Structure 1
Amino acid sequence: MWGVIQLGVLAAFLVLFVPVGMAGSLPLSSSSIVNLNSCISLLHHVAFDFQELNSEKSWKWIETEPAARLFVVSLLGLLLGESETEMIREDLFKRHSDYNILIDKIGMKLDFIWAPYVSNLSDLVLGFEEKKSDPDVFVIGAGLWDMLQINNATDYGVSLKLLGDLVLLLLPVPSDFVNDGAGTNLVSVRSPNFFWLGMPKLINSMLNTNEKREKMTDVLWQAYTDELYSSKLLHQSGGPLVLLDIHALSNKCGARCTADGMHYHGVVYDAAVHVMLNELLIESNQKL
């Protein structure tokens, strides 16, 4: 379906990076960014369906409006099917471990890399730059571990700015030219697609330890979110990463979708996967 696909994931709440053959990136400042951001925002307009207690949950895009590891599970469930995904779930969920898989039938390689803090992400991105081996699709996210263990929004913001500077190094510089006999043209350069996996809605009263309830408050969540937007890491603020808004999706699903106030039912991540894939299609079509 996509040709050659590689997928990678880094985890701090979840860091996922995914190489996909059809990928490309838009200029970081133009009217097309506004249009792209509008489209991505609309893709988060979903509704979750609850029939009866213990019944299967489902989601759909709202028809009346324009259109962590858990994310990886949802992605693999879509690509492999639920039964095959269940067979590898134990390996994927080994605590604080990396995971990789090659799906031969569609030529996709996925790497999940455990990287719980923004500083870990910076080290990994720097490694990609040094090795010149960055993925086609790159999905990263960090915040919950930092919020619990470090609990300093200002330091988090400083780390995000450094990460943003390093991510920009992975973008190609259109400086190569070729003479085709009719004139000199720019060489087409493959560009990675970057996504930021946002933090979920935190329901403080449901958090399962006193430490989490004391540190992971709505006030601190907002402070961390403010630092993310002011870091200029996201497309919305002129940065390189498109937001996968897990907060918006988990908030729509609500308390019925979580048992501990921070980890949500797979249906939330199913929706996020479809948002990402549709963004890739939107961007690909804009290049035609």
Structure 2
Amino acid sequence: MVFVYVCAMVACVVLFLPMVMAGYHLSRNKMLFFGAALFITLAVGVHLTPYFPSISRFTPNAPNSSSLASEISCLAYVDHVRWQNRALYVPDSDGFDSSLRTWDWARSDPVLSCGFQKLGKKDVLDLLNGSWVLVAGDSQARLFVVALLGLVLDDEKMIGAERDLFKRHSDYRIEVEENGMRIDYLWAPYTENLTIAMSQLESESRRPDVLVMGSGLWHMLHLSNPTDYSNSLFSLKRSLVKNKLVGSKTHGYWLGMPTLVNSMLNTQEKQERMNSSTLEAYNLEVYRSKILHGSGGSLLLLDVEELSRDCGLECTSDGMHYTKVVYEAALQIMLNALLIESEQRI
């Protein structure tokens, strides 16, 4: 190391002494002298910086800008899907056979470059190995959990899981033996219920690795007050920040409300209060609350409204709850977003 410093000093003398001696002769042209000095100084600095650890330490390691740009770009395209094989009417059944409805990511260049893929059981078990997945909300969130369980459980276990999961207005928990994953579902039909649930997590020794939540349908039906819904969203956002439930360790997602088919809703009260204009007003409050990623928040939107609308009327029997393919699509979008985020955080 001493040898390096000695060599550096000698180099400085060899380079700068002639320049100083020539300074007198260049004094009539100060710009020329300044330019020569600046050029030589920069050249010395560039060549000697690697030999001085103390200097290199102050040179920040720039992030991989192309990789960061790719992550942001792919998150923007992860929900660009298209539906195929419109369901066919089956005269001998109750109506349309929605099981024929399929989906895939769009074939545009940006989407193709991201390499999105439908993950199978092994992929999901690997991705969520040892993870705690917490899903909280109403019946939409429950159907999302069904989609997740359908990927990680075999048929026999799935029968028992669905039986327990669909006990009216109840919570549910399961631990997957294959990978040590824990899945929790919390019945939380109102945003206030979500806020309380998030506050109770403060006493937990760990935070969820994946957090999926959503609400609005019950509030729309029983209160029908977008302003009150907005206030509850702001309270939820404060709770998430206070309890550090989204960030570097927890991946957060907001499960949007589905498209409402007013004529198919099964009660007069639902038809009066749950319509497209009210849904639009409630969705606007979600964006105004800045709880979503891209608007100041950290929860990535799983847009069930768009997925259900594009799937079509044949994908719902009651105008509110949709066939499993819609929630499977939302799940796959979340899993691919999780892959993108995880790669950036590892």
Class of the TM-score when normalised by the shorter of the 2 chains: 0.7 to 0.9
Flag the 1:259–1:199 CA change in 2: closer, same or farther, 3 A: same
1:59 matched residue in structure 2: 103
Task: Please list every run of at least 4 consecutive aligned residues from structure 1 whose deviation after the TM superposition is greater than 4 angstroms.
Answer: 31-38
Task: For residues 121-149 of structure 1, give each alpha carbon's deviation from its aligned partner in whole angstroms, at most 9, with x where no partner exists.
Answer: 11111111244532111110000011001
Q: Indicate yes or no: 2:268 matched with 1:210.
A: yes
Task: For residues 24-64 of structure 1, give each alpha carbon's deviation from its aligned partner in whole angstroms, at most 9, with x where no partner exists.
Answer: xxxxxxx9998656433422222233353325332222224
1:112 matched residue in structure 2: 185
Counterpart secondary structure, 1:248: helix
Q: Indicate yes or no: 2:114 matched with 1:79.
A: no
From 75, 88, 93, give the equivalent of 1:40.
Answer: 75
Task: For residues 221-246 of structure 1, give each alpha carbon's deviation from its aligned partner in whole angstroms, at most 9, with x where no partner exists.
Answer: 11111110000100121102111111
Distance of 2:224 and 2:170 partners within structure 1: 24
Task: For residues 174-219 of structure 1, give each alpha carbon's deviation from its aligned partner in whole angstroms, at most 9, with x where no partner exists.
Answer: xxxxxxxxxxxxxxx9611111000001111111111001001111
Q: Indicate yes or no: 2:198 matched with 1:125.
A: yes
| Structure 1 residue 169, shift from structure 2 partner | 2.0
Measured on the aligned residues, the alpha-carbon RMSD in Å equals 2.5
From 156, 171, 176, give the equivalent of 2:244.
Answer: 171
Counterpart secondary structure, 2:168: coil
Of the two, which has the highest radius of gyration?
Answer: 2
1:9 matched residue in structure 2: none
Distance of 1:146 and 1:112 partners within structure 2: 19
Conserved? CA contact 2:71–2:344, under 8 Å: no
Distance of 2:68 and 2:233 partners within structure 1: 21
Conserved? CA contact 1:136–1:191, under 8 Å: yes
2:343 matched residue in structure 1: 285
Distance of 2:271 and 2:70 partners within structure 1: 39
Distance of 1:247 and 1:61 partners within structure 2: 17
Q: Indicate yes or no: 2:211 matched with 1:138.
A: yes
2:283 matched residue in structure 1: 225
| Structure 1 residue 286, shift from structure 2 partner | 1.8
Flag the 1:236–1:116 CA change in 2: closer, same or farther, 3 A: same
The structure carrying a bigger helix percent of its residues is 2
Conserved? CA contact 1:37–1:235, under 8 Å: no
Counterpart secondary structure, 2:329: helix
From 292, 302, 314, give the equivalent of 1:256.
Answer: 314
Task: For residues 97-124 of structure 1, give each alpha carbon's deviation from its aligned partner in whole angstroms, at most 9, with x where no partner exists.
Answer: 1111000111101111111100011111
1:200 matched residue in structure 2: 258
| Structure 1 residue 95, shift from structure 2 partner | 0.8
Q: Indicate yes or no: 2:318 matched with 1:270.
A: no
Distance of 1:61 and 1:223 partners within structure 2: 29
2:14 matched residue in structure 1: none
Question: Which amino acid letter does the alignment assign opposite residue 129 of structure 1?
Answer: E
Conserved? CA contact 1:74–1:266, under 8 Å: yes
Conserved? CA contact 1:167–1:240, under 8 Å: no
**How many residues are treated as equivalent by the alignment?**
244
Distance of 1:287 and 1:216 partners within structure 2: 40
Once the two structures are aligned, what percentage of the paired residues are identical? Answer: 47
Conserved? CA contact 1:171–1:191, under 8 Å: no
Gaps of 5+ in 1: 1-30, 174-188
Question: Which amino acid letter does the alignment assign opposite residue 62 of structure 1?
Answer: A
Gaps of 5+ in 2: 1-65, 90-96, 112-140
From 135, 138, 162, give the equivalent of 1:89.
Answer: 162
Conserved? CA contact 1:257–1:265, under 8 Å: yes
| Structure 1 residue 285, shift from structure 2 partner | 1.5
Distance of 2:270 and 2:191 partners within structure 1: 19
Conserved? CA contact 1:249–1:268, under 8 Å: yes
